[in-house]
Amino acid sequence: MSKKQRKPKKVEEGAPLWMTTYSDMVTLLLTFFVLLLSFSTVEKKKFEQALVSIKDAMGVLDKQMSVVQKPVDKIVSPQIRFENSVERAVKNLQEIPELRDEISFEKDDEGVHVRISNPLLFNSGEADLRTSSKSVLDTVGSVLSENIYKIVIEGHTDNVPINNDEFHSNWELSAARAVSLVEYFIGSGIGPHRFQAVAYGEYQPLAENTTNEGRATNRRVEIFIPYQNDWVDEIGNDVSKGSVINGGE
């Protein structure tokens, strides 16, 4: 009588069942870490705390090791870089001792205003720069020449009417003074495409024109550097558009 042949044991096909659970866990962990890294506004301290918690819970990292890399600096927009460049230039001007009593500075939401009183630059009723003012303008020009942003030169007067052989209104006087300043800076080597000359006459006073002090404050030329500078696409890229002379509003 022949021995009965033993049936071979059935070999299970595929990976063990526990691998499915393990794969799901690994996939979930990978997804979790990807989400953590994708949060661009996550705070470094909170991010590190989350990693420490995961490390302690999983027990997969040595306590002396860190997977946290030095955070990448936040991306700064061209507009912010432009504003920072303008403010650095003005700060450099403010730190020049001989300019402290001659020039005033103001920053607002629109940009930076560098104000120079007319008596420093011009004789009464004239638009030719005084010789004594040129050392101050050379100092200002040397700072402005280090940058590429556009510059608006504004002429302002008080409300006292003028009518002499050269100028028949405060409009004409303020325009001529703004152009004189533009031409001086161009002559010192700053590109003409960077300038815009604007005449405001008596119509943008800083103080009341009812006192001598108020009228003296209003007689001024301003170097205005706007933050919303349509002529500059980003720092480092100069855009030439030619010089423009506009009337006031």
Report the mean per-residue pLDDT for the chain. 78
Q: What is the pLDDT of residue 4?
A: 55
Is the pLDDT at 173 greater than 90? The verdict is yes
* Encoded tokens for 108: 């607002």
pTM: 0.61
Percent of the chain with pLDDT over 90: 35
Express each pLDDT in 4-41 by its tens digit: 556 555 555 666 777 778 787 888 887 877 777 766 55
* Reported confidence tier of residue 103, pLDDT bands at 50, 70, 90: confident
Instruction: For residues 71 and 43, give the distance between their C-alpha atoms in angstroms, rounded to a whole number.
Output: 10
CA distance 100 to 96: 7
